[in-house]
């Protein structure tokens, strides 16, 4: 065979290899694409693990897909602070961590709900001291943004008694377009209002329908920018008493999602029930999709994620029961907060009680739809 013939043969063989590899890559790409879009509605995967101290609670997704997760602690643990906030890429890769400054080392630490402003600053609910701490993840700088007070008569600050005795216990928060921050208080059964720029929070809303040892929890602002939606963890004895006085059926405690309008003058009006669980089910975080569908983390009594239509009708929940939950790679253990990342929902596995090994994760729940963009206001310079 001549030199020219060998070269031609070699070039033909190389071309064939390139074609075969290209077809293989295309096939692999097509298979990956098909696999990526073939997940069932509310399919549950793992987004990331969460390092010590674990007990992930709050979560924020930045416009560029960066994810921030706050950490809490077991309700019966001795103080194990300080709390940390972990930073992840949109693919779940751990990028950085931030240690929360100024916490009381003698108390059980924990940071909970988080929100973000137009500059990318995080606003994080802290338990001890009772405040919102602002954290600039670009510089690491931290400062106190708002404080909360004890407005109920009784408070026994023991690990198990803080809820039952109505100690100040801010939980979740959400901005309206003008920079006002509304914050739920799960133990004092109220919603706080923090003015743009921060300061001392004011007691803004309470009602007999939200009085319970497990009160207002996850909160979001709806698309109109003036309607709040929040989860009532569970109804309580006073709600049952109200039913009796009204001659209505009295049932065991349920979880509820309420809507509440903010008037132009800043006052509240029209508390309405959007959805109610079956008896014995507690709620935590919620998230609203662009479609108007609402997603909620069911913790006490269920351990699942539920999808609810804009009309307040349940679409689906996953896992459907506790047996299915225990068969997951990592079972849901009192899931906490949730935020959209593209067409998936990231859900923190709070595990606030005795956690199973490997429980400290953030779940990736497939929804096939995008979330409503949260309001990230431009706040006054401090």
318 touches 305 (CB < 8 A) = yes
353 touches 334 (CB < 8 A) = yes
Predicted pLDDT of residue 77: 75
| Angle of CA points 58, 61, 66, to nearest 5° | 115
Predicted pLDDT of residue 20: 36
Residue the block writes with tokens 């508390």: 271
Q: Which fold has domain 41-366?
A: Neuraminidase (2.120.10)
Domain limits, the chain? 41-366
pTM: 0.87
From first to last of its 382 residues, the chain has per-residue pLDDT tens of: 443 444 444 344 444 433 333 344 334 333 333 345 689 999 999 999 999 999 999 999 999 999 999 998 877 777 777 899 999 999 999 999 999 999 988 877 789 999 999 999 999 999 889 999 999 999 999 999 999 998 887 787 766 667 766 777 899 999 999 999 999 999 889 999 999 999 999 999 999 889 887 899 999 999 999 999 999 999 876 566 666 666 665 567 899 999 999 999 999 999 999 999 998 899 999 999 999 999 999 998 899 999 999 999 999 999 999 999 999 999 999 999 999 999 999 999 999 887 777 999 999 999 999 999 999 999 998 7
């Amino acid at each position: 065979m001549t030199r020219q013939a060998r070269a031609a043969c070699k070039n033909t063989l190389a071309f064939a290899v390139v074609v075969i590899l290209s077809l293989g890559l295309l096939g692999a790409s097509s298979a990956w694409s098909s696999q990526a879009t073939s997940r069932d509605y509310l399919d549950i995967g793992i987004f990331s693990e969460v390092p010590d101290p674990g007990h992930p609670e709050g979560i924020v997704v930045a416009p560029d897909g960066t994810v921030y997760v706050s950490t809490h602690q077991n309700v019966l643990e001795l103080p194990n602070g300080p709390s940390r906030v972990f930073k992840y890429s949109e693919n779940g890769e751990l990028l950085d961590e931030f240690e929360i400054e100024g916490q009381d080392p003698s108390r059980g630490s924990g940071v909970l709900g988080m929100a973000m402003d137009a500059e990318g600053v995080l606003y994080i609910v802290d338990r001890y001291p009772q405040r919102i701490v602002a954290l600039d993840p670009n510089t690491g700088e931290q400062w106190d943004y708002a404080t909360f007070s004890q407005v109920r008569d009784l408070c026994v600050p023991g690990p198990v008694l803080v809820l039952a005795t109505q100690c100040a216990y801010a939980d979740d928060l959400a901005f309206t377009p003008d920079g006002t921050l509304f914050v739920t208080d799960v133990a004092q059964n109220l919603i706080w209002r923090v003015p743009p720029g921060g300061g001392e929070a004011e007691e803004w809303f309470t009602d007999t329908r939200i009085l319970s040892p497990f009160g207002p929890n996850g909160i979001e602002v709806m698309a109109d920018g003036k309607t709040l939606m929040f989860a009532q963890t569970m109804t309580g004895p006073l709600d049952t008493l109200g039913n009796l006085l009204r001659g209505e059926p009295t049932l065991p405690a349920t979880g509820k999602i309420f809507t509440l309008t903010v008037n132009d003058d800043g006052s509240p009006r029209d508390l309405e029930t959007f959805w109610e669980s079956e008896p014995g089910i507690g709620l935590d975080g919620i998230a609203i999709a662009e479609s108007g569908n609402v997603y909620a983390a069911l913790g006490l009594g269920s351990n699942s994620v539920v999808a609810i239509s804009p009309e307040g009708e349940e679409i689906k929940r996953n896992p459907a029961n506790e047996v299915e939950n225990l068969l997951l790679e990592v079972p849901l253990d009192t899931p906490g907060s949730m935020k959209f990342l593209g067409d998936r929902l990231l859900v923190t596995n709070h595990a606030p009680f005795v956690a199973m090994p490997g429980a400290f994760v953030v779940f990736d729940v497939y929804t096939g739809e995008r979330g409503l963009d949260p309001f990230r206001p431009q706040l006054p310079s401090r």
